[in-house]
């Protein structure tokens, strides 16, 4: 049986739960859509302005909606103390984190699959056919953001003010990833392949850093 | 303040040990420590002769825990919950094990119902199935009778008796000795983290309940 079987079991369980609780992803999508829409009407922008702020609006919407989602997804483990059920299992804590992290990444990517076409239309984003490169950037940034979000959702869940605490912990550390997403997207739109690769590389480096630290520290955070 | 202080006991297979105490006595801490959900600042636990607290994660399958929380996901059915745990424990022959666990807990009829729709007693039966799914040798039960009506208490005690005669070592905590299964072999009375009295099944029939009440009253008076 695969080493990653427990992580895959958690991922499959989270997907099943999410499919039965569509309100979570639906709420995030509506919220993120509103953020994108509001940005599009700030300061009576010209088409050129829209194209310039588009990537930023897209990432801001993902950032805010993601924070909503992480809190909800981890709250499922707190209900009926299900987290203790996970901790009782003969599974290394790292595997538990990998399962939750994979779920967070998958759900964010599902959200982005809805948001990107909307943002591209509204902001008239023209990547000149470089959508595959944009998708790669999106995936890399999302993986890092999901690592942070999953980790800090676990931290915040142990407190009485988890909804308040999560953004306070999550957003400052997400800045490098957010910058990589925005700047990398703009470099792609401007056809600056070198700059795009630099930002993608930065996002990858933060994925490795955040992924490693969060995976190693997860056990300490969830144990009492 | 120490949650548990100088608590020492042994438990054999096929034995049911009851740890009784009022709220705040340290019963849940004791169970969580043995289950390795909490780490003690000092002391040691041996399981089957080997050090337990630092044993590899894989040995966790030797312990099953039933708490007042169900550890179930409300939006999954009882069977789906058990399927998830079976995958988490990397159990082979999952379908047969799930069926056996549900049957052992008297919960076969609940398999298709979502956990969030179950009554307290029904959820407790499914929780027992979850706790014995991986066939643990040691079963920890933290106030398993809490919130159950008399019928459900009798039913649960019947299931526990089956599990005990099946060779499992069972540690059960309670604040209500009247609900304890008849087959309980030994009793410890825990007050403020310390064992203040102990007795056997015969003692239980001859005044252990009164001693328990006295110990709890004495403790309350000292507070």
pLDDT greater than 80 at residue B121: yes
Query: For the residues B179-205, what does the mean pLDDT come to?
Result: 84
In this structure, how many other beta carbons lie within 10 angstroms of the beta carbon of residue A132?
Answer: 9
Contact residues on chain A for B135, CB-CB shorter than 8 A: none
Percentage of residues in chain A having pLDDT higher than 70: 99
Percentage above 70 pLDDT, chain B: 96
Which chain B residues are within 8 Å of A21, Cβ to Cβ?
75
pLDDT of B214 > 60? The answer is yes
- Helix (H) or strand (E) holding B190, with range, is strand B186-191
Instruction: Please report how many Cα atoms fall inside a 13 Å half-sphere around the Cα of residue A5, on the Cβ side.
Output: 16
- pLDDT greater at residue A101 or residue B22: A101
C-alpha distance from B202 to closest chain A C-alpha (Å):
34
Cα B201–chain centre separation: 18
State pLDDT tens for residues A82-111.
999 999 999 999 999 999 999 999 999 999
Residue A154 pLDDT: 94
Q: Which of A9, A21, A88 sits opposite B60 (nearest CB)?
A: A88
Q: Does the structure show a pLDDT above 60 at B223?
A: no
Evaluate the CA torsion angle B24, B71, B47, B103 in order and state its sign. positive
Question: What was the pLDDT predicted at B205?
Answer: 64
**Structural contact between residues A31 and A68, judged by C-beta atoms closer than 8 angstroms:** yes
pLDDT band of residue B222 (cuts 50, 70, 90) is low
Residues 87-126, chain A: which have Cβ within 8 Å of B? 87-92
Place A224 in a pLDDT band, splitting at 50, 70 and 90. Answer: low
- Residue B20 is classified by DSSP as E
Q: CB B115 to CB A81 under 8 A?
A: no
Give me the pLDDT at residue A52, please: 82
Of chain B residues 68-127, which have a CB less than 8 A from chain A? 69-76, 80, 84-85, 87-90, 115
User: B200 pairs with which residues across the strands?
Assistant: B186
pLDDT of B49 reads 85
Residue A176 has pLDDT above 70, yes or no: yes
Statement: residue B142 has pLDDT above 60: yes
Find the closest chain A residue to B123 by CA distance: A80
Q: Do B72 and A82 touch (CB under 8 A)?
A: yes
- State the average pLDDT for chain B: 90
Residues A16, A20, A22, A25, Cα dihedral to 10°: -30
pLDDT at A116: 93
The verdict on A213 touching B (C-beta cutoff 8 Å) is no
Give the pLDDT confidence of B41-96 residue by residue, as tens digits: 899 999 888 899 889 999 999 999 999 899 999 999 999 999 999 999 999 999 99
pLDDT at site A223:
79
Contacts of B22 (CB under 8 A, 6+ apart): B175, B191, B216, B219, B220
Q: d(Cα B144, Cα B67) in Å, to the nearest integer?
A: 6
> What pLDDT score does B1 carry?
73
Task: Give the residue-averaged pLDDT of A67-76.
Answer: 90
Q: What is the mean pLDDT of residues A34-60?
A: 87
**Cβ contact, residue pair A82, B115, below 8 Å:** no
Average pLDDT (A171-177) is: 96
Question: CB of A157 within 8 A of CB of A75?
Answer: yes
Give the residue, B179 or B141, on which the prediction is more confident.
Answer: B141
Within 10 angstroms of residue B150's Cβ, the number of other Cβ atoms is 9
**What integer pLDDT is reported at residue A167 of this predicted model?**
92
Residues of B in Cβ contact (< 8 Å) with A90: 57-61, 89-90
Picking from A19, A39, A35, A10, the residue whose alpha carbon sits closest to that of residue A97 is: A10
**What's the mean pLDDT in B4-21?**
91
Cβ within 8 Å, pair A12-B87: yes
């Amino acid at each position: 049986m695969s080493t990653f079987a427990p992580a895959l079991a958690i991922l499959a369980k989270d997907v099943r739960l999410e499919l039965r609780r569509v309100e979570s992803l639906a709420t995030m999508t509506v919220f993120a859509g509103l953020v994108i829409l509001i940005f599009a009407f700030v300061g009576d922008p010209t088409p050129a302005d829209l194209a310039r702020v588009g990537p930023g609006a897209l990432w801001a919407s993902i950032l805010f909606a993601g924070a909503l989602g992480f809190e909800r997804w981890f709250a499922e483990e707190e209900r009926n103390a299900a987290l203790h059920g996970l901790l009782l299992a003969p599974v290394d804590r790292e595997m538990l984190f990998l399962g939750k992290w994979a779920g967070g990444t998958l759900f964010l990517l599902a959200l982005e699959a809805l948001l990107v076409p909307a943002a591209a239309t509204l902001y008239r984003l023209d990547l000149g056919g470089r959508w595959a490169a944009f998708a790669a950037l999106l995936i890399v940034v999302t993986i890092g953001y999901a690592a942070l979000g999953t980790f800090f959702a676990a931290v915040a869940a142990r407190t009485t003010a988890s909804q308040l605490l999560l953004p306070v912990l999550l957003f400052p550390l997400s800045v490098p990833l957010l910058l990589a997403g925005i700047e990398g997207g703009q470099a792609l739109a401007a056809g600056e392949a070198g700059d795009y690769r630099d930002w993608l590389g930065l996002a990858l480096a933060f994925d490795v850093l955040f992924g490693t630290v969060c995976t190693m520290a997860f056990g300490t955070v969830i144990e009492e | 303040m120490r949650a548990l202080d100088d608590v020492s006991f042994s438990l054999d297979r096929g034995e049911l040990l009851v740890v009784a105490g009022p709220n705040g006595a340290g019963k849940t801490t004791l169970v969580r420590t043995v289950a390795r959900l909490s780490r003690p600042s000092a002391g040691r636990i041996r399981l089957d002769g080997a050090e337990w607290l630092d044993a590899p994660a894989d040995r966790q399958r030797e312990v099953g825990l039933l708490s007042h929380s169900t550890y179930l996901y409300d939006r999954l059915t009882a069977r789906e919950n058990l399927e998830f745990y079976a995958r988490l424990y990397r159990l082979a022959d999952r379908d047969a094990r799930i069926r056996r666990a549900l049957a052992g807990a008297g919960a076969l009829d609940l398999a298709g119902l979502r956990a969030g729709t179950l009554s307290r007693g029904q959820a407790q039966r499914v929780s027992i199935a979850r706790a014995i799914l991986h066939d643990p040798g040691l079963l920890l039960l933290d106030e398993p009778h809490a919130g159950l009506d008399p019928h459900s208490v009798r039913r649960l005690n019947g299931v526990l008796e089956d599990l005990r005669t099946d060779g499992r070592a069972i540690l059960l905590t309670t604040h209500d000795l009247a609900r304890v299964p008849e087959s309980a072999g030994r009793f410890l009375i825990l007050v403020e983290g310390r064992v203040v009295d102990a007795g056997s099944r015969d003692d239980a029939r001859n005044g252990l309940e009164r001693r328990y009440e006295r110990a709890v009253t004495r403790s309350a008076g000292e507070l």
